[in-house]
């Protein structure tokens, strides 16, 4: 498989890749110039049918069905909450609790910025469980376990919790995480400094489900990407509580 995709799992029914940042799962109508994973992969692998999506700048596990029967069965399992999804996010802020749940209903494309909004009247049910993995001064590594799959669900539910994902341009400040912002006595050249993380710091780490044909349980994992690991290394070094 050609770069930039790493294949995490493949058989005759399904394909799972480790999607990099800056790539769409399927085409959208906002930016036709953004590369699309499905189109790039289809050249070598034939028809691929999406069963879920992750945002353009989210990295990690992305799953496609390779035939209609697998597509129907996976869609059914996603819609009936039979698929376990695990994400990691680096957020601004320090949660009060070690674990909590958010169940605000969500409506996609709800404002002028095309953001998902909390809408108790017309929103669709949405639930996310959150767990603190590691704390730093001013930042937290959070595990997100979404039970539904609404657009931008994790990002909105974190914002509702008083937390924003590092470098999130829609729900946070969009400012890249820089070493100079963490290091008190920074002596580098600000003009040449490269960000630790320059995109929404959200990673789809694992997906677990029953295979649509054999019924065997699959757990597919994607390692943390380089920018995520670099940010965590510096937070551990410079922002330990």
Q: List pLDDT tens digits, range 84-125.
A: 999 999 999 999 999 999 999 999 999 999 999 999 999 999
Query: pLDDT digits over 34-81, tens only?
Result: 899 999 999 899 999 999 999 999 999 999 999 999 999 999 999 999
CB neighbour list of residue 187: distance below 8 Å, 6 or more residues apart: none
> Residue 93 CA to chain centroid, in angstroms?
19
Query: pLDDT digits over 196-222, tens only?
Result: 999 999 999 999 999 999 999 999 999
Inter-CA distances, 104 with 49, 108, 119, 156, Å = 29, 13, 8, 9
Q: Are 80 and 100 in contact (CB under 8 A)?
A: no
* Known catalytic residue at 173: no
**Pairwise CA distance, residues 215 & 38, whole Å:** 25
Phi, psi of 154 (to 5 degrees): -65, -40
**Pairwise CA distance, residues 138 & 44, whole Å:** 45
Residue pointed to by tokens 């929404």: 200
Query: pLDDT digits over 9-35, tens only?
Result: 999 999 999 999 999 988 877 677 889
> Residue 89 CA to chain centroid, in angstroms?
8
Domains of the chain: 6-238 (3.30.2350.10)
Q: Enter the tokens of residue 18.
A: 């480790």
- Can you count the helices (H) and strands (E) in the chain? 5, 13
Predicted confidence at residue 227, as pLDDT, reads 97
Query: pLDDT digits over 164-203, tens only?
Result: 999 999 999 999 999 988 887 766 665 578 999 999 999 9
Nearest to 107 by CA among 145, 138, 150: 150
Residue 179: enclosing H or E segment and its boundaries?
helix 179-182
Phi, psi of 15 (to 5 degrees): -135, 135
**Pairwise CA distance, residues 205 & 61, whole Å:** 6
**Pairwise CA distance, residues 155 & 225, whole Å:** 19
**Pairwise CA distance, residues 132 & 96, whole Å:** 10
Q: What is the pTM of this model?
A: 0.94
Per annotation, catalytic residue among 18, 33, 44, 55: 55
């Amino acid at each position: 498989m050609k770069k930039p995709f790493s294949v995490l799992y493949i058989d005759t029914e399904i394909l799972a890749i480790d999607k990099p940042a800056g790539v769409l799962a399927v085409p959208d109508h906002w930016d036709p110039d953004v590369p699309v994973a499905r189109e790039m992969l289809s050249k070598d692998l034939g028809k691929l049918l999406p069963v879920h999506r992750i945002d353009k700048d989210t990295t990690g596990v992305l799953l496609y069905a390779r035939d209609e029967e697998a597509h129907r069965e996976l869609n059914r399992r996603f819609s009936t909450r039979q698929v376990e999804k695990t994400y990691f996010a680096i957020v601004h802020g320090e949660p009060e609790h070690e674990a909590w749940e958010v169940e605000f209903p969500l409506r996609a494309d709800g404002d002028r910025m095309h953001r998902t909004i909390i809408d108790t009247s017309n929103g669709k049910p949405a639930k996310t469980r959150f767990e603190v993995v590691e704390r730093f001064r001013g930042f937290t590594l959070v595990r997100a376990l979404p039970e539904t799959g609404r657009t931008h669900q994790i990002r909105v539910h974190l914002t509702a919790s008083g937390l924003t994902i590092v470098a999130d341009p829609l729900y946070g400040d969009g400012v890249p995480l820089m070493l100079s912002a963490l290091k008190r006595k920074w002596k580098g050249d600000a003009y040449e400094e490269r960000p630790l993380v320059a995109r929404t710091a959200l990673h789809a780490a694992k997906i677990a489900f029953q295979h649509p044909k054999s019924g065997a349980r699959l757990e597919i994992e994607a390692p943390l990407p380089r920018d995520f690991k670099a940010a965590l290394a510096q937070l551990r070094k410079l922002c330990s509580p």
